[in-house]
């Protein structure tokens, strides 16, 4: 904008500024303000009500010595790594399968993506039923003659993560598939022509030529999947309620329970600040990577 | 393996098959029908196995919801009902019990409707205007605010939920439906603003300039020029917001009182309530009822749904 506008610069273009006020308020008050508020209060000993009575890192020391938090972090790490790898692998495999000039492509894509339209509560409740030890999968396999068969992840602390994975991937892999399919369709035609001329088999082309070219698509998927994993909450509430015992607790649930259930705000603030730190650890390298890429182009 | 795979790859028609006016680019005409090769069987086999994984839960849900409890106790969750009953659906809708009341999911359904409609309209109105200002009326710092907004989409909600409780309490909206609507407007803003910003910046700038020359102002251009030609993107935004807000659980449970809990919270309370005998058929009917609205939107909207999530994902 030219500098020769009205004398008061704040009033230049004022309808636009007014119209953007909700965005400015959201950015400053909620995203920055509320986050800082929580970070600051994580250094206090707030319990029932937030208080600015600073206790240094005491909440964090307590947090990291609480078994439930340790289990939550461990679960999130195991679930996160497995979900990330499996979702990427399944997403890429399905995208490649869908990309083979098949019939009913739209039909298959509709089937693969529909769980993504559902609430995690719905997903959790359905899988709770399928994995029900008395009526579900275990019951059916036993009925087929394998009477010794035992698969009861909802009541087995060692296997409960499998239940979360089955449900989480069921809901989320469709999105990755769709993004990867769009990525595959965006690959230059000439790459395929060249690889065909050179006589490289299709699977090798996918693995060694296309896959490296899809790095930006994978980066996007990794960020989206990771953001979803860190927020993992509804699914746990609906599928396992954190059980058996504390075997399937996750950080987001720890935050909610301490803030609204146990009236121990300080712990909730410290735990949520840890979640923020984890997200920043993923986002910042990604943002730098993208900025670096833009500069090179 | 490699020798066997090569002819199949070579026989595949040119991808994207865009006619580029080149006459001597291989045989013309329709692509010859492919015979069922081993490779094809593997492709379809793989897709069918995955489809089974995706469809079985839906199948189990429907079948269970149509059976009576005695049949469920004796039978197989995958088997279709011997005797079809709609009793579980009626009960789930009108008389299933949560810990607090026994008027079924209908209450949650209407609560969700009362939340989704204003939240969708408001969030889209606000975000569309934001996107428009960002593209056509840039001001000092507008891009900075937008960047914060986009980064904000990745902040875990858990970091912000408590201060928002305080804000809502201060402005007198804590516990009310309007408080929850405001929360949805705020958290829907990054993705929907991004959607509109990208769409508006793809329109030819001459349009805006011509309207400007004709003397139209900020709102005139927006309402009379841009909105009428943005129907597709509004549809995408509605799909995105209705499904997203309908499926929300966390905000509903925090910012509303039990009598105005949305359907997802109600569903969780019905299924996971500890008292009484567990009625799996009623639970499944309740689950289907809760999933019905987003599923209907999904199956009706088809490609627009994909476009919505892809627009958010690829640029994000």
Assess whether pLDDT exceeds 60 at residue B316: no
Q: What is the ipTM of this complex?
A: 0.87
Give B-chain residues touching A283 at CB under 8 angstroms.
Answer: 151, 154
Instruction: Express each pLDDT in B70-119 by its tens digit.
Output: 888 887 888 888 888 898 899 889 888 877 778 889 999 999 999 999 99
DSSP A166-191: HHHHHHHHHHHHHHHHHHHHTS-HHH
Q: What is the mean pLDDT of residues A13-33?
A: 89
- Which of A15, A19, A127 lies closest to B57 in CB terms? A127
Cα distances (Å, whole numbers) of residue B163 to A40, A116, A246: 11, 30, 28
Instruction: Express each pLDDT in A79-133 by its tens digit.
Output: 999 999 999 999 999 999 998 888 888 889 899 999 999 999 999 999 999 998 8
Closest-approach residue (CA) in chain B for A11: B139
Q: What is the mean pLDDT of residues A241-257?
A: 92
Find, among A194, A198, A102, the residue nearest to B6 by Cα: A198
pLDDT category at A68 given cuts 50, 70, 90 is very high
Whether A13 contacts chain B with CB within 8 A:
yes
Partner-chain contact B51 A223, CB within 8 Å: no
Angle between helices B280-301 and A120-130 (to 10 degrees): 130
Give B-chain residues touching A27 at CB under 8 angstroms.
Answer: 145-146, 148-149, 152
CA dihedral (A237, A240, A245, A246) positive or negative: negative
pLDDT category at A201 given cuts 50, 70, 90 is confident
Q: For residues A124 and A167, is the Cβ–Cβ distance under 8 A?
A: yes
Closest-approach residue (CA) in chain A for B39: A100
Share of chain A above pLDDT 90, in %: 47
Instruction: Express each pLDDT in B38-51 by its tens digit.
Output: 888 888 999 999 99
Partner-chain contact B189 A23, CB within 8 Å: yes
Mean pLDDT for all residues in chain A: 88
Whether A83 contacts chain B with CB within 8 A:
no
Can you say how many angstroms the Cα of residue B205 is from the centroid of all Cα atoms in its chain? 31
DSSP A4-22: TS-SSGGGTTHHHHHHTHH
Give the span between the Cα atoms of B252 and B257, in whole angstroms: 9
Whether A8 contacts chain B with CB within 8 A:
no
Closest-approach residue (CA) in chain A for B165: A34
pLDDT category at B315 given cuts 50, 70, 90 is very low
pLDDT at A8: 67
Q: Which of residues 111-130 of A touch B (CB under 8 A)?
A: 111-122, 125-130
Helix (H, G, I), strand (E, B) or coil at B256: strand
Give the span between the Cα atoms of B137 and B142, in whole angstroms: 9
Q: For residues B96 and B270, is the Cβ–Cβ distance under 8 A?
A: yes
- Phi and psi dihedrals of A102, rounded to 5? -85, 165
Partner-chain contact A27 B166, CB within 8 Å: no
Give A-chain residues touching B290 at CB under 8 angstroms.
Answer: 119, 121-122
Dihedral of CA atoms B236, B241, B246, B249 in degrees, nearest 10, equals 140
pLDDT category at B19 given cuts 50, 70, 90 is very low
Give the span between the Cα atoms of B74 and B60, in whole angstroms: 15
Q: For residues B256 and B177, is the Cβ–Cβ distance under 8 A?
A: yes
Give the span between the Cα atoms of A93 and A192, in whole angstroms: 18
Partner-chain contact A119 B159, CB within 8 Å: no
B1-8 long-range contacts, CB within 8 A, separation 24+: B1/A201, B2/A201, B2/A204, B4/B38, B5/A201, B5/A202, B5/A203, B5/B39, B6/A199, B6/A200, B6/A201, B8/A202, B8/B37, B8/B39
Rounded to the nearest 5 percent, the helix, strand and coil shares of chain B are: 70, 0, 30
Assess whether pLDDT exceeds 90 at residue B216: no
Partner-chain contact B305 A20, CB within 8 Å: no
Share of chain A above pLDDT 70, in %: 95
Partner-chain contact A16 B137, CB within 8 Å: yes
pLDDT at A286: 77
Partner-chain contact A241 B272, CB within 8 Å: yes
Q: Specify the CATH number of the domain A59-296.
A: 1.10.3720.10
Mean pLDDT for all residues in chain B: 84
Name the residue with higher pLDDT: B215 or A270. A270
Assess whether pLDDT exceeds 50 at residue A161: yes
Which candidate in A2, A26, A202 is best for mutational testing of the B interface (most B CBs within 10 A)? A26
Query: Nearest CA to CA, how far is B33 from chain A (Å)?
Result: 11
H helix or E strand, kind and range, residue A211 = helix A211-213
pLDDT at B161: 94
Give the span between the Cα atoms of A268 and B13, in whole angstroms: 58
Give A-chain residues touching B300 at CB under 8 angstroms.
Answer: none
pLDDT category at B3 given cuts 50, 70, 90 is very low
Can you say how many angstroms the Cα of residue A95 is from the centroid of all Cα atoms in its chain? 20
pLDDT category at B295 given cuts 50, 70, 90 is very high
Give the span between the Cα atoms of B129 and B219, in whole angstroms: 9
pLDDT at A53: 85
Give the span between the Cα atoms of A70 and A74, in whole angstroms: 6
Closest-approach residue (CA) in chain B for A265: B162
Partner-chain contact A140 B77, CB within 8 Å: yes
Partner-chain contact A35 B160, CB within 8 Å: yes
Partner-chain contact B158 A110, CB within 8 Å: no
Domains of chain B from N-terminus onward: 34-85 (no CATH), 110-260+280-315 (1.10.3720.10)
Assess whether pLDDT exceeds 90 at residue B168: yes
A63-69 long-range contacts, CB within 8 A, separation 24+: A63/A267, A63/A270, A63/A271, A63/A274, A66/A267, A67/A246, A68/A246, A68/A249, A68/A254, A69/A251, A69/A254, A69/A271
Find, among B252, B163, B254, B145, the residue nearest to A273 by Cα: B163
Query: Nearest CA to CA, how far is B9 from chain A (Å)?
Result: 6
pLDDT category at A204 given cuts 50, 70, 90 is confident
Closest-approach residue (CA) in chain A for B265: A121
CB-defined contacts A:B, below 8 A: 290
Query: Nearest CA to CA, how far is A278 from chain B (Å)?
Result: 10
Partner-chain contact A130 B56, CB within 8 Å: yes
pLDDT category at B215 given cuts 50, 70, 90 is confident
- Phi and psi dihedrals of A117, rounded to 5? -80, -10
The label of the residue with tokens 């995690």 reads A120
Closest-approach residue (CA) in chain A for B241: A117
Whether A12 contacts chain B with CB within 8 A:
yes
End-to-end CA distance of chain B: 39
pTM metric for this prediction: 0.86
Assess whether pLDDT exceeds 70 at residue B222: yes
Give B-chain residues touching A201 at CB under 8 angstroms.
Answer: 1-2, 5-6, 9
Q: What is the mean pLDDT of residues A32-43?
A: 95
Find, among A8, A53, A16, A35, the residue nearest to A273 by Cα: A35
pLDDT category at A51 given cuts 50, 70, 90 is confident
């Amino acid at each position: 904008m030219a500098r020769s506008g009205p004398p008061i610069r704040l009033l230049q273009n004022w309808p636009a500024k007014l119209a953007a006020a909700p965005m400015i308020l959201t950015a400053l008050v909620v995203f920055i303000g509320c986050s800082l508020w929580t970070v600051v209060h994580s250094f206090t000993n707030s319990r029932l009500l937030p208080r600015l009575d600073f206790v240094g890192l005491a909440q964090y020391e307590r947090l990291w010595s609480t078994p439930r938090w340790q289990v939550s972090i461990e679960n999130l790490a195991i679930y996160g790594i497995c979900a990330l790898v499996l979702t990427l692998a399944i997403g890429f495999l399905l995208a490649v399968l869908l990309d083979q000039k098949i019939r009913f492509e739209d039909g298959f894509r509709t089937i693969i993506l529909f769980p993504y339209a559902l609430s995690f509560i719905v997903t959790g409740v359905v899988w709770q039923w399928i994995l029900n030890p008395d009526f579900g999968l275990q019951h059916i396999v036993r009925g087929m003659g394998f009477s010794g068969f035992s698969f009861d992840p909802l009541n087995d602390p060692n296997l409960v993560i499998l239940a979360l994975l089955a449900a989480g991937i069921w809901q989320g892999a469709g999105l990755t598939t769709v993004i990867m399919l769009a990525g595959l369709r965006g690959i230059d035609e000439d790459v395929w022509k060249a690889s065909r001329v050179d006589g490289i088999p299709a699977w090798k082309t996918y693995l060694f030529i296309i896959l490296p070219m899809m790095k930006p698509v994978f980066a996007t998927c990794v960020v989206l999947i990771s953001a979803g994993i860190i927020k993992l909450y509804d699914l746990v509430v609906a599928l396992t309620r954190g059980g058996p015992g504390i075997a399937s607790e996750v950080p987001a649930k720890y935050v909610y329970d301490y803030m609204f259930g146990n009236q121990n705000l300080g712990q909730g603030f410290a735990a949520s600040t840890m979640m923020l730190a984890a997200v920043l650890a993923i986002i910042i390298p990604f943002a730098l990577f993208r900025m670096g890429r833009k500069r090179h182009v | 393996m490699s020798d066997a795979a090569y002819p199949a790859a070579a026989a595949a028609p040119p991808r994207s098959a865009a006619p580029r006016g080149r006459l001597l680019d291989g045989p013309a005409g329709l692509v010859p029908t492919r015979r069922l090769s081993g490779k094809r069987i593997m492709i379809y086999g793989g897709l069918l196995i995955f489809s089974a994984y995706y469809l079985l839960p839906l199948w189990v849900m429907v079948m269970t919801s149509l059976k009576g409890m005695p049949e469920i106790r004796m039978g197989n969750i995958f088997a279709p009902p011997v005797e079809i009953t709609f009793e579980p659906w009626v009960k789930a809708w009108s008389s299933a019990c949560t810990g607090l009341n026994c008027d079924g999911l209908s209450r949650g359904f209407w609560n969700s409707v009362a939340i989704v409609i204003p939240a969708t309209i408001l969030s889209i109105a606000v975000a569309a205007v934001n996107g428009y200002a960002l593209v056509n009326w840039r001001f000092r710092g507008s891009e900075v605010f937008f960047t914060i907004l986009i980064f904000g989409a990745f902040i875990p909600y858990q970091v912000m939920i408590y201060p928002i409780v305080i804000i809502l309490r201060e402005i007198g909206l804590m516990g009310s439906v309007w408080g929850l609507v405001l929360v949805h407007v705020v958290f829907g803003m990054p993705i929907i603003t991004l959607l509109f910003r990208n769409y508006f910046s793809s329109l030819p700038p001459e349009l805006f300039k011509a309207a400007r020359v004709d003397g139209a102002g900020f709102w005139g251009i927006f309402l009379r020029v841009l909105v009428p030609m943005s129907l597709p993107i509004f549809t995408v935004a509605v799909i995105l917001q209705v499904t997203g807000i309908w499926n929300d659980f966390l905000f509903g449970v925090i910012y509303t009182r039990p009598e105005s809990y949305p359907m997802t919270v109600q569903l969780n309370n019905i299924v996971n309530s500890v008292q009484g005998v567990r009625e799996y058929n009623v639970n499944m009917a309740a689950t289907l009822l809760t999933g019905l609205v987003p599923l209907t939107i999904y199956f009706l909207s088809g490609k627009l749904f994909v476009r919505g999530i892809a627009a958010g994902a690829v640029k994000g």
